[in-house]
Amino acid sequence: MLAIWLPNWPIQRLVNESPELRGRPLLLAETFAGRSSVAACSREAQRLGIHPGMPLAEASALAPRRLQIKPHDPLADWQSLAQLAHWCRRFSPTVGLEASDPPRTLLFDAAGLASLHGSEQSLLDRAAREMARRGFRVRLALADTIGAAYAVARYGNMANIHGRQIIPSGVSRQALAPLPLAALRLPDSLIATLAALGFECVGDVLQLPREQLPSRFGRQLLLRIDQALGAAPEAIVSVKQSPEFAVRQSFEFPLVRQDALRHALLTLLEKLAHALLVHRAGVLRLKCLIECESEIVAFDVGVLQATASAATFAELIDLQLERTRLTRPATAIALEVLQHAPLAQRQTLFFKAQHDFSSSPALAALVNRLANRLGRDAVVRCRLRHDAQPELAYRLERVLDGLPARHKGNVKRLPFGPLDRPLDLLKAPTPLNATIDAVSGLPQQFSWEGRRHVVNQVWGPERIDTGWWRRRRVGRDYYRLETAAGQRIWSYRRREDGRWFLHGFF
C-alpha cells in the first residue's frame, strides 16, 4: 500500500491555483459561532507567529500590510484532492482518500506495480517527481497495510530520505513503535485519555496485553492496531471517476432534409441531458460532429453557466447549422461533452418573494386549507424576540389571528448564522445521561430514547448568559456534538452545577 500525504493541503491547493500567492504570508480564515479564527496558514505566516486556531484579529495585527487573508473553503479542498486522485490513476488503478474529515492523504493499492516501474523505489521516486512537477510538497510511504503506510507518511522521520520511505514486509510493528499515538488514526478523546495515562507512542500501547484493550479503551483501539499490523482487513474506497458524456446515432438512410436532421439532434440532446441529470452535471462546452458521405462537419457550442437543458443547446446548434452548409447527406451524428461542471442546485421560494398573506393569494389559500383541516391552533408562525435564553427567544402565534402592530418583532439582525442553531429545538431542555471524559470534561457517549450514542466530534463552547435583572440567572456553555452515526445535537453544560442537557437536533 502506498500513502501520499500532502502537508498543509488547504494552503498548497490555494497557492497552486493562484501562483502569485507563493512565498507570501497567507492565512485562511473561518467563522464559527460568530468567532473568526485562522483555519490554516503558510510557512511565511508561521514565521510571523501566526498559527491555526489563533483569533483572526490577533493574526491580522502581526502583519497588517503584508498578510494575505482568504476564506477557508473545505469543499474546494475536497474537490481538488479528489481531482488529484483521478490524476494519480497513472500510478495505480485503485486510488482513494483517507477516511477522515477532512482528508489530506491519498491511498494507493500498489500490489504488483513494482515490476511495471522497475522497483518499489522507482515507483516512489516517479510519484514524488510528478507531484513536485505539479507544484505539491508530499511525503510518501510504502508498506504492507494502509494503516502502516499512512502512519509513516504522516508521522515518520524522513529528514534524510527525501520525504519517501519503504517499510519492508514484516517489520510494520518496529516502524510503528516510535510514532505518536495519532499515527493510529484514533479519535482525539481517546488520544487524550491514553496521554493522560502516560502513553506517549504507539510502542507503549503495543506492549499492553491484547485481551485487555477492548475493556479498557474500547474496540476502536484494537481495530486500528490490527489494521496497521495486517491482522484486520481494510480496503481503499476508490474515488469515483468522472463520467464521460457522449452519444452517437447512425442513420439507416442518409438524411437530406434539414428538419429531419434537427429532429435527430434534438433526440440525441434529450438523451444526453438525461445522462447529465443522473450525475447532476451540466454542460459548459459541447462538440457536435455531423458525418456526411464524404466529409465530417464539426463545431463547438458553449454556455456561460453549466446547464443540462436540451432546448438551450438545440437553439445554439441551430444557430451554427444556419451558417453551415452540408453538401452531402448526413449519415451519422455524434455529440460529445468537452467540459462539464456540477449542476447548480438552487432552492426557489415557495411563493415568489411575497411574505404577506394579503399580497399572496396562493399562500393565503394554503393557510386557509391547512387551518380548516387541522384547526386554527395548528397553523402558527414563529416571531423572534430579543432574549439570550434560546427557548424564550421566539414566540409562536396563530396565523389567522393576525399580527397586532404593538406585537411586531424588533429583531432586525440575528447575532448567529442559520446553521448555528438547530432546526428542531425542544420546548424545554432535557437532562442528558452522558459519560464525561475526565480530561476534557466533554461527553464521550450519551443515552437518548433508550439508545446509546458515541460522540465523535465536538464543537464549542458558545457561552449564553441571561441578564442580571432576571430573578433566576441562566448560564450555559453550548456545544454541538456529532455522533458516530452522523447525527448532530445541540447540548449545553449548566455552569452552576456542571450538568448536561439536550436542547435540539440539527
Nearest partner of 290 among 328, 322, 263, judged by Cα: 328
pLDDT at 350: 58
Give the separation between CA 459 and CA 168, rounded to whole angstroms.
40
Give residues with Cβ within 8 angstroms of 49, minimum separation 6.
62
pLDDT at 281: 87
Nearest partner of 184 among 164, 205, 198, judged by Cα: 205
Q: What φ, ψ does residue 109 adopt, rounded to 5°?
A: -90, 105
pLDDT at 406: 45
Give the separation between CA 200 and CA 191, rounded to whole angstroms.
9
pLDDT at 405: 44
Nearest partner of 333 among 319, 317, 309, 322, judged by Cα: 317
Give residues with Cβ within 8 angstroms of 171, minimum separation 6.
none
Can you state the percent helix, strand and coil of the chain, rounding each to 5?
Answer: 35, 30, 35
DSSP 3-state of 304 = strand
Count CA within 13 A, CB hemisphere, residue 236.
25
pLDDT at 241: 61
Nearest partner of 226 among 111, 142, 146, judged by Cα: 146
Mean pLDDT by 10 residues, the chain (506 residues): 94 92 91 87 92 91 85 89 88 88 90 85 91 92 94 86 87 93 92 92 92 88 93 85 78 85 90 88 89 84 86 88 82 88 69 56 78 82 81 81 52 65 86 87 87 88 82 87 89 91 91
Distance of CA 288 to the CA centre of its chain: 35
pLDDT at 131: 92
Torsion of CA 347, 351, 353, 354, to 10 degrees: -150
pLDDT at 50: 92
pLDDT at 37: 92
Nearest partner of 255 among 293, 311, 304, judged by Cα: 293
Q: Looking at this protein, which amino acid is placed at residue 299?
A: F
CB 106 within 8 Å of CB 140: no
pTM metric for this prediction: 0.53
Burial status of residue 44 (CB atoms within 10 A of its CB: 0-12, 13-18, 19 or more): buried
Q: Are strands 330-342 and 281-292 parallel, antiparallel or unpaired?
A: antiparallel
The answer to whether the peptide bond before residue 243 is cis (omega within 30 degrees of 0) is: no
- The DSSP element (H or E) to which 289 belongs, if any, is strand 281-292
CB 94 within 8 Å of CB 238: yes
CB 200 within 8 Å of CB 191: no
